[in-house]
Amino acid sequence: MSRETGLVGFVFEFVCSVVNFFTEFFSRALIGVAGCETECAKTEQNCNKWLFHFHNSFISQPPERRRPPANVCVGVWFQRSRIGLTSPYTPPTEMPTILHVDDWLIVAEKPAELLSVPGRGPEKADCARTRIQQTYPDALTVHRLDMSTSGLLLFARSKYVQRALSAEFEQGRVHKTYLADVWQPPVEDAGLIDLPLVNDWPNRPRQKVDHETGKPSQTRFQVLTRHAQAARVQLTPLTGRTHQLRVHLAALGHPILGDDLYAHDDALYMTSRLHLHATELIFRHPGTNAAVTYQSPCPFETP
């Protein structure tokens, strides 16, 4: 270990210790405020939310959780840390690839780590839609992919077509197929995952399985290839919940490789990106009413 590395480590631990001290100080202060104003439920609720986020933040974790695994670059670990640090949005320079365009719609391939639609704040204005609109100003959002997911994205070219295609998605008449690499091959060759999902509010943007309040969520899976520590699976969502594929696979004990929200460290650091790709769309064309199919080859290999 170099002298500079040792110095950086010392400064890092010192800063964390100082911040933890003030964390505990303000935590106790807030608990006191909430306790003295029990008649104000909103105040107590807000204090509890603040305490939850602070106690689950990066700086409040024990030292062993504040260090990256031995085989992971420190810079990569900081960017992808799941315990409190939020990395800045750095969209790829790669532009979406136009696969099809006509008077009614546009089919494009979105690269990984690019938002489908603008996020909150001007720093998240760059997205697939705004990039498509540079060439086709009338492009309108029909559906979305997670930022880290690559693959097929559909845009409408009028409000009428947008409503028609959105209704097709909402009513489950659009056939969507994804390819993913998961941790450890599943025992079954194929099956149906039927687990209700709900927003995990304290851990946003995470979702979670909840059999009491969750919304019905179903995913069909089929194992295509098996490897020593991973498997290539084909996924067909029958519903369209947020993070549905990622939560369902993680709930089975086979998280998608590279998933910085739901995968354990071994699966997370096995790849440099989320191994999830929207590879096929089948739907009825709003102009001709004919069934059309669009496909996108998977850009990553199973490790």
pLDDT number for residue 239: 95
Q: Vertex 241, ends 272 and 149: CA angle to 5°?
A: 20
Q: Which residues of 56-69 are buried (b: 16+ CB within 10 A; e: fewer)?
A: eebbbbeeeebebe
pTM of the model: 0.74
- Which is it for strands 190-194 and 218-226: parallel, antiparallel or unpaired? antiparallel
Neighbours of 271 (CB within 10 A): 19
pLDDT tens digits for 47-62?
Answer: 444 444 444 444 444 4
Judged against a pLDDT cut of 70, whether residue 256 lies above it is answered with yes
pLDDT number for residue 23: 52
Q: Pick one of 3.20.20.70, 3.30.1450.10, 3.40.50.300, 3.30.2350.10 as the CATH number of 97-295.
A: 3.30.2350.10
Lowest-pLDDT range, 70-79, 153-162, 251-260, 261-270? 70-79
Does residue 146 have an active-site annotation?
yes
Candidates 254, 259, 261; CA nearest to 275 is: 259
Compute the average pLDDT of residues 60-71. 45
pLDDT number for residue 9: 59
pLDDT number for residue 86: 56
Confidence tier at 292 by pLDDT (50, 70, 90): very high
- For the chain, give the percent of residues with pLDDT over 90: 69
**Contact, 281 vs 293, CB < 8 A?**
yes
Compute the average pLDDT of residues 128-151. 97
**Contact, 284 vs 292, CB < 8 A?**
yes
Confidence tier at 175 by pLDDT (50, 70, 90): very high
Eight-state DSSP code of residue 216: P
pLDDT number for residue 282: 98
**Contact, 33 vs 47, CB < 8 A?**
yes
Eight-state DSSP code of residue 269: T
Confidence tier at 220 by pLDDT (50, 70, 90): very high
pLDDT number for residue 87: 72
pLDDT tens digits for 2-22?
Answer: 555 556 556 666 665 655 555
Eight-state DSSP code of residue 188: S
Provide the β-strand partners of residue 276: 180
Residue 8 or residue 205, greater confidence? 205
Judged against a pLDDT cut of 80, whether residue 64 lies above it is answered with no
pLDDT number for residue 293: 98
pLDDT number for residue 302: 94
Take residue 167 and report the two structure tokens written for it: 């209704």
User: Which DSSP string corresponds to 68-90?
Assistant: --TTS-HHHHHHH--SS--PPP-
Lowest-pLDDT range, 22-26, 124-128, 196-200, 220-224? 22-26
Compute the average pLDDT of residues 14-35. 51
pLDDT number for residue 52: 45
d(CA 250, CA 228): 18
Identified catalytic residue from 146, 194, 259, 260: 146
Domain ranges of the chain: 3-67, 97-295
Neighbours of 191 (CB within 10 A): 14
Query: Does 205 sit behind a cis peptide bond, omega within 30 degrees of 0 on the bond before it?
Result: yes
The DSSP H or E segment spanning 220 is strand 218-226
55 contacts: CB under 8 Å, gap ≥ 6: 23, 27
Candidates 160, 111, 163, 161; CA nearest to 132 is: 111
* Signed CA dihedral, 184, 188, 193, 194: sign only: negative
In degrees and rounded to multiples of 5, residue 38 shows phi and psi of: -65, -20
pLDDT number for residue 199: 94
Judged against a pLDDT cut of 70, whether residue 247 lies above it is answered with yes
Average pLDDT, the chain: 83
Tokens 């996924």 sit at which residue?
235
Contacts of range 119-127, beta carbons closer than 8 Å, 24 or more positions apart: 119/89, 123/88, 123/89, 124/89, 126/91, 127/91
